[in-house]
Amino acid sequence: MAKMTKETINVGFIGAGDIAILHAKAVQKTPGAKLVGLWNRSQDRAKERAEQFGCKNYVSPEALVRDPNIDAVFVLTNLESHLEYTKLALEHGKHVLVEKPVGMNVGEIQEMKTAADTKDLICLPGHNYIYESSMNRTRELIDGGDLGKIVSAYVMYNIHHPEEVAKRYPGVVRQILTHHSYILVYLLGAPVELCAMKATLHYAEYTEEDIAMVQMRMKNGALAHFCASFAADDHAADPWTVMVKVIGTAGSTRYSYRDHVEIKPGLVHSQTYTAYQGSVMNEVRHFLIDCLRMGGQPLSTLDDAITAQKMIEAAEESIAKRTIVTM
């Protein structure tokens, strides 16, 4: 892909929910980038966000992607519509950042990849965690052999979500374990075996799971463990709010949400975990500057999104059949 030489990279949002607030802040803080406009299915929300962000409100997604002034589109809608809007933007020659979970299934993500490849455009999956510097350093240490032989890896998530918040999401397997999966793929590759369990422990009406755990065997024999929980916060010392740990025979690494916390409500959390906004900032800057401006490539691709989705579907199969699934 050729480098983008125009002075300002103009961005449009399809979708203006809570996550759009984080992306708008990220675009605003990215040198040489500007949020031009947005579209949202609810026009009341669209008008509110357009005024909040100081940008245009488009009458339709088609109007947004047909605007020659827009260079890149962020697809920030509900999961079920990601494929529709991602393909729409790509077909009109726009580079795309599509939030996670990227697609409903492997086939949808493959369709996005084919559409992007056909147009020679970047379609970056919203794998924000791997744009953290500590994740990048962990990958370097693993690749360089500095940690010795990797023996175990852990990706943990324990943040209480009230039922009215959880109802916005498709359960923690789809909504949260997607993060875990692409993190593991980025750091260590895909597992070769996987088994999973889930439970619903504190919702009165919502039937989707609020906690899930996955055990995996990696290609080198190492074991990995995922936990994703909306059921309860971890109040212990050094809590596993969000934590990524890799242990090798010659060293280990850790990344934690708890290193940066603001005592004020977040978008859906009781506290503000600054690391999440920071990871979105890094991801957006990488997309707009490193990829579009400089002609570089994403750190995590749609091929990685396909692998992560295969892991999610394997976890669902393991839960349904109560068995170990070979990847």
Tens of pLDDT along 121-131? 999 999 999 99
Tens of pLDDT along 2-53? 677 789 999 999 999 999 999 999 999 999 999 999 999 999 999 999 999 9
H helices within the chain, ranges in order? 18-28, 43-53, 61-65, 82-91, 106-119, 133-143, 163-166, 172-175, 177-188, 274-285, 302-321
What does pLDDT average to over the chain? 95
Backbone angles phi, psi at 185, to 5 degrees: -60, -45
Domains of the chain: 9-125 (3.40.50.720), 130-273+309-326 (3.30.360.10)
The first and second tokens of residue 255, run together, are 């990344």
Q: How far apart are CA 301 and CA 125, in angstroms?
A: 6
Instruction: Say if CB 190 and CB 181 are below 8 A apart.
Output: no
The number of angstroms, rounded, from the C-alpha of 173 to the middle of its chain's C-alpha atoms is 13
**pLDDT confidence band for 233 (50 / 70 / 90):** very high
**pLDDT confidence band for 267 (50 / 70 / 90):** low
Higher pLDDT residue, 1 or 158? 158
Please give the pLDDT value at position 1.
63
Instruction: Inform me whether the pLDDT recorded for 261 exceeds 90.
Output: no
Instruction: Say if CB 37 and CB 55 are below 8 A apart.
Output: yes
| Percentage with pLDDT > 70 across the chain | 98
Q: How far apart are CA 213 and CA 199, in angstroms?
A: 9
First to last CA, the chain: 33
Query: Who's near 295: CB < 8 A, 6+ residues apart?
Result: 1, 2, 3
Query: Who's near 88: CB < 8 A, 6+ residues apart?
Result: 61, 62, 65
Query: Who's near 282: CB < 8 A, 6+ residues apart?
Result: 128, 131, 132, 133
Q: How far apart are CA 205 and CA 203, in angstroms?
A: 6
Tens of pLDDT along 141-176? 999 999 999 999 999 999 999 999 899 888 999 999
Could you tell me how many helices (H) and strands (E) the chain has, helices first?
A: 11, 15
pTM over 0.85: yes
Q: How far apart are CA 133 and CA 170, in angstroms?
A: 29
Instruction: Inform me whether the pLDDT recorded for 324 exceeds 70.
Output: yes
Please give the pLDDT value at position 49.
97
Backbone angles phi, psi at 120, to 5 degrees: 55, 50
Higher pLDDT residue, 276 or 224? 224
Tens of pLDDT along 77-95? 999 999 999 999 999 999 9
Tens of pLDDT along 176-198? 999 999 999 999 999 999 999 99
Q: How far apart are CA 249 and CA 138, in angstroms?
A: 14
Q: How far apart are CA 214 and CA 129, in angstroms?
A: 19
